[in-house]
Structure 1
Amino acid sequence: MFDSRQFQSILHQLMGRRQFFENIGSGIYGAALASMLCRDAYGEIEADSTTSQGSRQTFDLAPRRPNFEPKAKAVIHLFMNGGPSQMDLFDPKPELDRRHGQSYFEKIAGEVESPGSGGALMRTPFKFAQHGQSGMWVSNAMPHFAKCVDDVAMIRSMHTVNLTHEPALYHIHSGRTIPGQPSLGSWVTYGLGSESANLPAYVVLDDPLGLPVNGTQSWASGYLPPIYQGTRFKATGTPVLNLDREFDEPDEVTNAERSLIGRLDRLHRSRRPGQAQLDARIASYELAARMQLMAPEALDLSQETQQTLEAYGIGDKITDSYGRRCLIARRLVERGVRFVQLYIDSQIWDTHDHLQTELQKACDRTDKPVAALLNDLKARGLFDSVLVLWGGEFGRLPIAQLRGGDESVTSGRDHNKNAFTCWMAGAGIKAGTVHGSTDEIGLMAVEDRVSVSDWHATILHLLGLHYSDLYYERNGLKEKLTGVDQARVIKEILA
């Protein structure tokens, strides 16, 4: 063993006084850098870690206080991949009937993703009628939804910033046109946590026939801790893989095993602070253990009446898959899940050709289940506390997209970033209202325009969160869902 004098002598031989202070200075800088990196990864330490305002030190799914009294406690997001055509579903344009076949491509060439196939103005092949006491216009492609129009607020003046699927998908889900950003569902669960200790806060019900073109990134947590990313459930077969016990044993033995594993996990974690992936993995395992008791019951549709199953179209080849997911969504929010997101196939709304047949197929698969969900939420007293969202990433153009053959049959519509339609229903929504409008041919949103940031701000507002107060500190910036965009809450559609 060295005494202090021997240590000082050795230190003096290794470096002079000037070198010593140079190295200790680097150490201070290193400590400062480590502190900054830790803060970037885990957020600022807050005096009150129970509030949803801003970053915080503790990352878990415990329920958190909103900024103000919320209208909605949960969200069901019915995302329609591909871009539904607004002038064929919800936004009738008589001018397209009058000007059908007129040349117009040269006026909007810069707004067309595939300019080589641009054609003339094209009328809708569907028939529109007014429905309900509100007199809202809906085409005959959606006969079931047409009976629910008095329950929704229709926004006809949405617009976005990119006409290509991937950037538009990133934008509608995360507020940015680039990958690696937290999704809307991740922001909501980061801000509010979960009302259920035994189910995930954010559940994704994707289509077994295919993912969106950007894969699983639509429900990623980005730079937020991974505990806030979406958890995928399967609608058919075993909804959650590897959830069942490997063998039967008394509950007391299982509980003792879990208690021991929990103590070992906490000991392991205490020796490795600041490991977001480790924290998320432990939390995921603990949740999976609790889900063994709750998830099978929540996902068991045999508990539903035959009348309910038929209303959702379960058992019908066309509507069975989406109907199951809509019914599972209702059962999940009923049990405290905060955010449920449904996807439909890869791009079934991306009607570049055969507009009438392809758009009708998309409606046939979704129309009845969506209407059943709205009616079911009302019947069960959930409509006033659950916010339902419907829409895609952009809309379609008023001109024909030509793909050869008989143009009256094969023509479709290309992407349109300047106008699309979505609707909202349920908690806090002024039902039976139409907000905003497009120009006479449906090309541009012109009145009461609504940006994606406005839409995000409104969703957060209904959940009791102010969009400017929900942030995550990263690289010295207060990152928000709405970014640096000027956003406004769409108060005109709020009850």
Structure 2
Amino acid sequence: MNPFNHLTRRQLLSRSACGIGTAALASLLTPDTSRAADQAEHLPGHLSQTHFPARAKRVIYLFMHGGPSQMEMFDYKPGLRKMHGKQIPDSVRGDQRLTGMTSGQASFPIASPQQFKFKQHGKSGAWVSELMPHLARRSDDICFIKSMHTEAINHDPAITLLQTGHQQPGRPSLGAWSSYGLGSENANLPSFVVLISDGSASRPTDPLYARLWGTGFLPSSHQGVNFRKSGDPVLYLSNAKGIDPASRRLILDGLADLNHQRYETEGDPEILTRIEQYEMAYRMQTSVPELTDLSSESASTLKMYGEDVTTPGTYAGNCLLARRLAERDVRFIQLYHRGWDQHYNLPSDIRLQCGDIDQPTAALLADLKQRGLLEETLIVWGGEFGRTAYSQGKLSTTDYGRDHHGRCFTMWMAGGGIKPGISYGETDELCYNVVNNPVHVHDLNATILRCMGIDHKKLTFKFQGRDYRLTDVEGNVVEAIMG
């Protein structure tokens, strides 16, 4: 029976376009290659070459889930101290869309971060609060973007927009796009790895959905692999009881043969992806235990990251793991640190959150720099939005909370083609609206791709009759922050 007799038009076109994929499959099915678990190789992406010279070979994205308050950390506004407790002017708030948590408030009293002291640091003179003393010492390596803005006002749409370029689920994530476009430099590890940690704040952690590191309509081989905190870092990495490596190899070879036969019949490219993922899992049996074994790290390095660094699943531990992944040429490394949604108890909770991240983040920057990796590694730090200048609920001199605020917030970048030691963009005296050099979420994502040598308008994927891209139909590269 001719396998083309029952193919749809889309399947026919997909199969016709898979000559390269079949050639790649042949290498996977060759025993000498598939069994060489210690042999790293380049797995090419969709692009034959980058659109621009790439400044960043990889990205480490430090995502602060929940929306960290910019006023307590990086966006110094001394004028707020004079207005503590006063009503924020209607002219400043304008017709802003509010969340259901503050839309019914009778008043909007300004909450000044007056209990936190700010100082200028480094040659750049960057303003950083006392909450981040370690990171402040790295300020000359950092570009602070103080004019970020987004139209999303609740967590799920906001984080989905930042990570996938659209507020509604279903689009590929930034990490998946980078893997699809550029491929992998290490065949023994995933090109996209996800690490999750929980903060020390009292606020319950908001959920994180796997679709945030998913592939949407891209081939599923580009999805992020979430390393777990306990047991095997990746599910089913260890052989089942009674199965030795040789037996597993025979099983995988048999499965590959069956899947290849199925592919010849169906022509579905996802079958090739399935074979590739089985082979990746086999190679990871060797590469992942070596990756997570910290016995080769010096005592001085461990001390630099802090006392939690040897505890799996902590932010400190994940920062060190991120550096080790970067050394092994993993393309995209996504860290999520939860607990920043501080609607109440903000002064006490933000101290705890900053205590989690300050030393490890600074150590990651210093460690990459001393190893010569920072210039080719792009670091991105930030959350899905910022916090309001007014207090949510009751305001006192020592306690307050802040609601979600998308009109302005701060993110920062370092390494990988970004100018160090600068601040870009400006907010008004109440840290409520952007007044200079606004940077939208799409602009940020376009700039990240540009650092990796990709034109965000040209990395596309045709799905349901339309060419999709990460930045949808928007986005401009922020040329002023690129070195």
**TM-score when scaled to structure 2?**
0.86
Structure 1 unaligned spans of 5+: 1-29, 50-59
Is 1:370 aligned to 2:361, yes or no?
A: yes
Please list, as runs of the form range in 1=range in 2, the aligned pairs for 1:375-390 lying within 5 A after superposition.
Answer: 375-390=366-381
Give the superposition deviation at 1:122: 1.6
**1:437-460 Cα distance to aligned partner (Å, 9 max, x none):** 011111011201101111011000
Provide Cα deviations, 1:185-235, integer angstroms capped at 9, x if missing partner: 011111111111010010000126897535222111111121111110024
* Equivalent-residue separation in structure 2 for 1:372 and 1:310 (angstroms): 9
Residue aligning to 1:112: 98
Q: Distance in 2 between matches of 1:234 and 1:307?
A: 26
Deviation at 1:279, TM superposition (A): 3.1
Query: What aligned pairs does 1:34-73 form with structure 2 within 5 A after superposition?
Result: 34-36=8-10, 45=17, 61-63=43-45, 64=47, 65-73=49-57
Map 1:56-205 → 2, pairs under 5 A: 61-63=43-45, 64=47, 65-104=49-88, 106-107=90-91, 108=93, 110-113=96-99, 114-117=102-105, 119-124=108-113, 125-205=115-195
Task: Kindly report the root-mean-square deviation, in angstroms, between the aligned alpha carbons of the 2 structures.
Answer: 2.8
Maintained 8 Å contact 1:319/1:365: no
Q: Which residue of 2 aligns with 1:440?
A: 429
Report if aligned partners of 1:319, 1:368 keep a CA contact under 8 Å in 2. Answer: no
Corresponding residue SS for 2:397 = helix
TM-score, L = length of structure 1: 0.84
Which residue is 1:349 aligned to?
Answer: 340
Assess, with a 3 A threshold, how the Cα gap between structure 1 residues 253 and 120 changes in structure 2: closer, same or farther.
Answer: closer
The equivalent of 2:403 in structure 1 is 414
Match of 1:310 in 2: 303
Secondary structure class of the residue paired with 1:460: helix
**What's the CA shift for 1:263?**
3.5
Matched, 1:396 2:387: yes
Partner of 1:14: none
Cα 1:120–1:226 shift into 2, 3 Å: same
> Structure 2: how far apart are the matches of 1:267 and 1:211?
46
Equivalent residue number for residue 494 of structure 1: 482
Q: 2:196·2:313 contact (CA, 8 Å) conserved in 1?
A: no
C-alpha deviation, 1:491, in angstroms: 1.1
- 1:188, 1:304 → 2: CA distance? 29
Gaps of 5+ in 2: 22-41
CA 1:317–1:333 in structure 2 vs 1: closer, same or farther (change >3 Å)? closer
Question: Partner letter of residue 188 of structure 1?
Answer: S
- Give, in angstroms, the shift of residue 36 of structure 1: 4.3
Q: Deviations over 1:97-123 (max 9, x none)?
A: 122221126452744322234531121
Q: Which has the larger radius of gyration?
A: 1
Relative to structure 1, the CA distance from residue 208 to residue 139 in structure 2 (aligned partners, 3 Å threshold; closer, same or farther) is closer
SS at match of 2:420: coil
Does the C-alpha gap of structure 1 residues 211 and 400 become closer, same or farther in structure 2, counting only changes over 3 Å? Answer: closer
8 Å CA contact 2:63–2:383 kept in 1: the answer is yes
CA distance in structure 2 between the partners assigned to 1:193 and 1:110 by the alignment: 42
Contact 2:108 2:391 in 1 (8 A): yes
Q: Percent identity?
A: 39
Whether the 8 Å CA contact 1:181–1:223 is kept in 2: the answer is: yes
For 1:20, the equivalent position in structure 2 comes to none
Aligned partner of 2:24 in structure 1 is none
Deviation at 1:318, TM superposition (A): 10
Task: Give the counterpart of 2:213 among 201, 210, 219.
Answer: 219
1:247 to partner: Cα distance: 6.0
Tell me how far apart the structure 2 counterparts of residues 351 and 67 of structure 1 sit (CA, whole Å). Answer: 41
CA gap 1:387/1:36 in 2 versus in 1, 3 angstroms: same
Aligned-partner SS, 1:129: strand
2:398 partner SS: helix
In structure 1, give the amino acid aligned to 2:262.
Answer: H
How many pairs were matched up?
447
Match of 1:282 among 257, 275, 281: 275
Letter in 2 for 1:112: L
SS at match of 1:424: strand
> Does structure 2 retain, via aligned residues, the 8 Å contact 1:235–1:325?
no
Which secondary structure does the structure 1 equivalent of 2:221 belong to? helix
Q: Is the 8 Å Cα contact of residues 319 and 366 (structure 1) preserved in structure 2?
A: no
